[in-house]
Structure 1
Amino acid sequence: MQTKTLKSDSLLLVAAFFWGTTFVAQRKGMDHLGPMTYNALRFLLGAVTLAPLILWPHLRLAGTRTGTPRLLLWGGLAAGAALFAGASLQQMGLQYTTAGKAGFITSLYVVLVPLMGLFLGHRCGPWLWLGVGLTVAGLYLLSVNESFTIAKGDLLVLSSAFFWAIHVQVIGYLAKRGDPLRLACAQFLVCSALSFLVALLGEPIGADAIRAATIPILYGGVLSAGVAFTLQVICQRTSPPAHAAIIMSLETVFAAVAGWLILHERMGLRGLAGCALMLAGLMVVQLPPLLGSRRKPLVPPVDMATLAERPPYHDPVC
């Protein structure tokens, strides 16, 4: 394996670690803050972290357009609104479910993106339907109980996955027309502003609470949004798509392990089997087309949490 590829894969693994373990930070942050307040501060900090990097030309991908001010405005509003919807539902769901379950359920957007692509005229193969079957079976084992109902938190996170998928479609369009760093800052600011507005309507916001939640806010804003995003932008130049597909899927595993180690969450054999099926489904959807063909993916490969393309379909943030 080439040194550049090994280095890129290693840094992508670090990024996946930050993204996965941020689910724990999101839960810990709500020990002191409401979900909207936490998101507002987290995404504001993410925008502040990325802002200085806009002036660093080495982070700009070859062939990337700077984009017009109009694109930055309307693109930031559209992507920020979709990000706000997905992040809000996910954050509210984390009040009632575990970090590990939330990580796996959120990852369903990887399957939903190509399914939505069918309505836009994209083609799909048998691997997609096999992946859908595996993820649905996994979701059943993970979230559906004996009375055939799904818990409130799991349902909220599942709803967020639909908005993450919409977000991917939006930024799949924008990422080809503008600078990912500028667009990322714009959408983070929009998401933060919308979160602040909702927080003002129904959540207490105090300086003491914010200070108590400083570490979770810093982790979610600086490491997950700023550092991990920057690593992705740098590494996607040299990391093979098949490698990235496997590494990015490990975000779900990091979420479950971090929840177990830090929050002492337990899933049981049924839940673990569900996670295994869902992870297999994600791999089936992503890997075979990349390994068997050099054509571009049928659906644009874009990150759920930022505006950079993350091969093959992968979200930050979130």
Structure 2
Amino acid sequence: MSRIQANLILLVAAAIWGSTFVVQHVSMDVIGPMSFTSARFFLGFLVVLPLALREWKKKKAVRKEKPFLVVSKKDFFLMGVIGVILFTATIIQQYGIIHTSVTNAGFLTALYVPMVPLLGLIIFRKKPHWITWIAIACSFSGTTLISGVDSSLQLGYGDALVLTSTIFWGLHVLLVGLVASRTSMPLTLASIQFAVSAVIGFIFAIAMETITLEILKSAFWLIAYAGILSVGIAFTLQVVGQAHTQPADAALILSMETVFAAIAGAVVLGERLETNGIIGCALILSAILMVELLPMLIRKRRHYS
């Protein structure tokens, strides 16, 4: 798969995720966040499982000498960790969406883009380009404008939760890129992370919420959309795409979900941004472009000079 094809796949994933913000927002009127999260990931797991088993079988056939070493213990463990991180990012974001607008949630989630190089520095000791720090400052400024920060400079509760989730989304993008490219088994990674997220969500749902057949029936189409499209298809497309492109490029393409979220919020829920919010969105998108495109343009200029 070429890099352009991988980026197009990631763009499709971003479009699905952007529209899913509306579904996540509306679903909270009929079902608890833990139940919804567990159900959507379980459904996504069922969608990907046949493909993952087929991938595993092909990989096993290639490694005839050591068929049981299709995935190393370290990578298998990392896949499980990625599932825990995915659940953490999703549930924090889900609780945040309850207390903020779809538009705010979509744009605030985009802050994981500057988080990717920052976390890369902390975890992998990979020094980010100097422009990253300026991008982070722009992102924070944009966040304050979108969130309607008051004179005490406090984010709204929902906005703060969504903002916190970006740390885990950034970490998720980094680890998915690492494991998917190293193992060349994106579908196996997808199925394992979905299964782990579904199990964790189910445990918390039993302890914290009321789950009845009537509630599940009421939320069926919402769960189906979020489970089949957002999890089963979009998250799998992310893993497949990231196996053929760089984490930073992937973060840029996936951040387009913020634009799709704003469009979906306007069309379905009638949400509108005020002037400060529009300026904030522009600052965040500028930060995204800054952290991704400027280093590339500088390198090209040096190459041709």
Tell whether the structures are fold-level matches, with TM greater than 0.5.
yes
| TM-aligned CA distance change 1:67 to 1:129, over 3 Å | farther
Counterpart among 107, 120, 128 of residue 132 in structure 2: 128
Matched with 2:27 is 29
DSSP 3-state at the match of 1:124:
coil
The residue correspondences of 1:183-222 to structure 2 (distance < 5 A) are 183-222=189-228
Matched, 1:158 2:163: yes
What does the per-residue CA deviation read over 1:220-244, in whole Å, with 9 as the maximum and x for residues that have no partner? Answer: 1111122234545666688899986
Give the alignment's Cα RMSD to 1 decimal. 3.1
The residue correspondences of 1:276-287 to structure 2 (distance < 5 A) are 276-287=282-293
Matched with 1:313 is none
Q: CA deviation at 1:72?
A: 5.6
Letter of the 2:101 counterpart: T
Q: Contact conserved, 1:78 with 1:170, CA < 8 A, in 2?
A: no
Q: CA deviation at 1:191?
A: 0.9
Q: Contact conserved, 2:186 with 2:240, CA < 8 A, in 1?
A: no
Matched, 1:85 2:57: no
Matched with 1:46 is 44
Matched, 1:99 2:105: no
DSSP 3-state at the match of 1:177:
helix
Matched with 1:289 is 295
What does the per-residue CA deviation read over 1:106-157, in whole Å, with 9 as the maximum and x for residues that have no partner? Answer: 1211111211222242112222122112111101111242232211100111
- Higher mean alpha-carbon deviation, 279-288 vs 66-75, is at 66-75
Gaps of 5+ in 2: 64-68, 301-305
The structure with the largest helix share of the pair is 2
What does the per-residue CA deviation read over 1:73-106, in whole Å, with 9 as the maximum and x for residues that have no partner? Answer: 4223211111121111100111101111111111
Counterpart among 244, 247, 264 of residue 258 in structure 1: 264
- Higher mean alpha-carbon deviation, 193-202 vs 219-228, is at 219-228
| TM-aligned CA distance change 1:233 to 1:74, over 3 Å | closer
Letter of the 2:29 counterpart: D
| TM-aligned CA distance change 1:167 to 1:240, over 3 Å | closer
Matched with 1:108 is 111
Q: Contact conserved, 1:72 with 1:183, CA < 8 A, in 2?
A: no
Q: Contact conserved, 2:38 with 2:201, CA < 8 A, in 1?
A: yes
DSSP 3-state at the match of 1:165:
helix
Letter of the 2:86 counterpart: L
| TM-aligned CA distance change 1:248 to 1:135, over 3 Å | same
Gaps of 5+ in 1: 295-318
| TM-aligned CA distance change 1:73 to 1:244, over 3 Å | closer
Letter of the 2:27 counterpart: G
Q: CA deviation at 1:14?
A: 2.9
Q: CA deviation at 1:249?
A: 2.9
| TM-aligned CA distance change 1:14 to 1:280, over 3 Å | same
Q: CA deviation at 1:52?
A: 1.6
* TM-score, length of structure 2 as denominator length: 0.83
Matched with 2:77 is 74
Q: CA deviation at 1:169?
A: 3.8
Letter of the 1:49 counterpart: V
Q: CA deviation at 1:281?
A: 0.6
Q: How many equivalent pairs are there?
A: 288
Letter of the 1:253 counterpart: V
